[in-house]
Structure formats: C-alpha cells, structure tokens
Structure 1
Amino acid sequence: MRLFGTVAGLYDSARPGYPAWIGESIVSFHGRAPSSVVEIGAGTGKGTAVLAGLGAPLTCIEPDPRMAAVLAGRFPAAVVHATTFEDWTPPDGGADVLACAMAWHWLDPATRNRLAFDALAPGGTLAIFGHRYGYADPDQGEAVRATLSRLNRTGSDRPLDWFHQDVLDHGCFTGVRKEVRRTPLPLDRTGYLNLMATFGPGLKQSPERQRQVQEALGRLVDDFGGNVVLDLRTTLVLGSR
C-alpha cells in the first residue's frame, strides 16, 4: 500500500471523493449513530471525509507515512496510526463501525474478514466502499484500453464488486448487502491525466514509461476534444457482526 505515498499530494487532489449517501446508508444499516468509527487504509482521506461526517470519534489506519501526513493535516480531529491493519490493536470492546475505502484488496485475503470481524464490537457494522472507473463513451474507453495495453499497462483484473462476494464467501458477517450508484465524472485534460497518474499499475512502471503513457493519453484526450466523461460506479458493501 506504500506505493501511493510517492504521489500523495496528487492522489489527494486528483482522486474523486465519496457522496453523502455512503454515510447515510452506513447509519441506516447500523440502526443508530455510531459511537466510534475506524477506517482501514485511509490514504489521504478520500473516504475519511464521509466517515468524519458521522460525528463519532474517528481512528484512521494508514501504513504509508507520507499518506498519513496528508491525512492528519486534513483531519486534525482524527487519531491517525501510521501502521498496517494487521499490526494495529483494536480498542477494548471493538469499534462500532469499521470502514475501508478502496483498500480492501491490500489486505491479506486469508485473514482480512476474520480480523475485521474481531475488530468490531458486537452488533458493529463493516462498511467497504470504492469506485470503479468506466467511460461514458464506450469508444473512448476502448481507445484508452488499447493505448494502455500497447504500453504494457494493465488495470485490475478483479471482478466487478468483488469485495461483496469476498465478504459473502467468508460467511462471518450477517445481513450482508450491496448498494451501487453511478455518477458521470467530467474531466478536462489536466484532471484526467492527473487521475490516471495515481493508479497502481502505472506507478509500478519506470519513470520513462510513465512519461510515455501520459503523453499517449494526452494525445487521446486532445482527439476527444479536450475532455473525458468517466462513468463512476460507486459500490458500498455492508455487514454486521
């Protein structure tokens, strides 16, 4: 997960946040205002903004110190632990709500559900949410995929809403449900290129290849008329201990 610390500032400015319905759905599912909230893999706080709105004491776990520094600056009222979820010690009695935004895949598949279950108070709520980025114009999407493939950059091969099935398959949480909403995300050339520069597959490439990808995508956006409209698919998965 420390991969993103190299672009912590850009990540914070370029990645979209989360809509208010995420927090509203968490409270509705939980059945009351939570008494405490813990966030796993909080990054620079894209999901934290929604969770802070729940009004409960907030603890954030973020292993990359560069991301954690941005996070602490944005949310001074939150308690930030620069460590991994696996090394973090839950509070006595557990957390009322345990949340994770776009970081569930960084946790060990063999232990993440059990550790999350054990970190929750009885009757507590697990909330996992994230975005999947598509394209409003299928032709634009295909052109981007072809360009990235040519430059040996591939995206995630995880199935759509895979973390919903992951929680269901583990079987320790009850009442598991999924909510999905889609939102158009218009971006100009700079906004789109900045967003694309924050994704893991690209960050794993050499600086020279990253430059080549940015130049190729820039030419594509120019061909598109200078703008791209993404199809932002936001999924929330909820379950109870």
Structure 2
Amino acid sequence: MAERALSFGAVAEAYERYRPGYPAELAEKVLDYAGAPVAGALEIGAGTGKATRLFAGRGIAVTATDPDPAMLAELRKHLPADVETRRGALEDLRPDRRYGLVYSAAALHWTDPAGRWPRIAALLAPGGVFASIGGPIGPADPVVRKAVDDAQAPFLESAEVPSPDGTPPENALQWPGTELEQSELFADVRQVVVQERMTFSADELIGLFSTVSVYRVLPDSVREQVFSRIRQVLPETVDMVADHTAHLARRR
C-alpha cells in the first residue's frame, strides 16, 4: 500500500489534467452539516488540489497537506497564494492549532490505521467536523465496465482499493463511517452520496487510468500493454458515473 500511496508524484500533471474535480454540492453538504461558519480547514492528502478548490473557493482558509512535493507543486500552479501548503502525511502533522474542519478526499485510505482517529481528533477543535470524501468512478455502461475488466484481467485482479476494514460493498454504511461509529472521539456520524455523470473520450479515460495507483506500480512495459488492451475495447466516448460519498462526523 505504501508504494501505491506514493506513486502519484510522477504523474502530477496528468493527475491534474485527467482527474475530475468534485461537485459543489459536496461542499454544501459538508458545510450544512457543520451548522456554523468554518474559518479554517486542514486537508489531508490534497494532491493537486481537486478538493482544495471546493473549500478555498468559499472563503475558508485551507491548509493543504500532502506527502508528495510534486503534487503540492502542481497544486500551487492552480490555487491562490493564500492557500497554505504543508508537506507531510497525516502521521507527520503536529497539532500546532485546531481547525473547525479537517477533511480528506480520495486519500484517507492511504493513512496509517494505527492512531488514525486520535491523530485526526487532535487536529480538530471540540465540535469540529471531519469529512472524508471518496467513491468509485467508472463506466456507466456495465458492458463497457466488463470489457475493461476482461481486458486487464491477465494483469490485474482488480483496480479497486479494497475497504480498509473489510466492510462488504453491500453494507449500508461504508468505511470510514464504520470506524467513526466505533470511535469514542466522534459523534453524529452520517453518510451522504452525491452522484455525478460525465463523459470522457477514450483517450481521456486512458489518461485517467494512468493516474490510478494500481496501474502506476506496474512495470512500464506491462502498463503500456494493459492500456493498449483497454483502449481497443473502448468506444470513442465513454459515459462515466461517480458516486461521491461523504462521511461526516463531529469531534466530541
């Protein structure tokens, strides 16, 4: 997992180009849940700033953190100078101040489960909000999905990141909500989903796949072969669906 977690910096520009952003409705749901104005927020695993834009654009002073300097360098190209950046994984951060909001988008599963929740709680003011945003994105058409799975099957069992706590996909409450509910540090756990549809060209979809960790850690020659096989089964345009799931909790 550590190799996959640190595999993105080499494709930071492609990450920014091909990874879709997040819908404004997600930020609205987080801030509605907060129930009061949020002055400052800390972001865990900011990457190139896809989710940073959600909150910095609403007048919140965001401190964006990431362990990869190449990702932070790309973030700085696209965000105002008043967005503070700090290099470091969650495990490196020290609670020199407490925030009204701590959030992570498509990055929490890369953090060390040992001490994860005490570390996050230490960064939050009492009553402050934690938000984890994530969820799968893939072809909306099951026929296209299966064609992609079949094309890559000789090289990969799955491109998905498994649930960190083993929660099966049919459970109503998914991870990290499952862990938050069990933590004595958090209360009022909620799970909300915002579905988004978009259309990619076949080449754009291959570009997106080039930023996904399971492909990044393949040897270059194997990765090229996988992408060639996938490209052959794709239509010229691919309707995509993303289920953005936000897990929300309040610091006791």
1:122 and 2:126 equivalent?
yes
Code of the residue aligned with 2:61 in structure 1: it is: P
> Mind listing any 5+ residue stretches in structure 2 that lack a counterpart?
none
- Name the structure 2 match of 1:77: 82
1:71 deviates by 1.2
Q: Structure 2: how far apart are the matches of 1:91 and 1:182? A: 36
Contact 1:23 1:53 in 2 (8 A): no
Q: Structure 2: how far apart are the matches of 1:29 and 1:11? A: 30
Q: CA RMSD in A?
A: 1.4
Q: Structure 2: how far apart are the matches of 1:171 and 1:148? A: 42
> Mind listing any 5+ residue stretches in structure 1 that lack a counterpart?
none
Contact 2:23 2:196 in 1 (8 A): no
1:167 deviates by 2.0
- Name the structure 1 match of 2:198: 185
- Name the structure 2 match of 1:195: 208
Where do 1:167-186 residues align within 5 Å? 167-186=180-199
- Name the structure 1 match of 2:175: 162
1:164 deviates by 2.1
Code of the residue aligned with 1:72 in structure 2: it is: R
Contact 1:33 1:54 in 2 (8 A): no
Classify the secondary structure of the residue corresponding to 1:205.
coil
Classify the secondary structure of the residue corresponding to 1:54.
coil
**From 212, 219, 244, the counterpart of 1:234:** 244
Classify the secondary structure of the residue corresponding to 1:90.
coil
Count, aligned residues: 237
**From 199, 204, 210, the counterpart of 2:217:** 204
1:55 deviates by 1.0
1:26 and 2:30 equivalent?
yes
- Name the structure 1 match of 2:91: 86
Percent of aligned pairs with the same amino acid: 30
1:153 deviates by 5.4
Classify the secondary structure of the residue corresponding to 2:89.
coil
Which stretch shows the higher mean deviation, 148-157 or 177-186? Answer: 148-157
1:131 deviates by 3.1
Which stretch shows the higher mean deviation, 38-47 or 170-179? Answer: 170-179
Contact 1:40 1:98 in 2 (8 A): yes
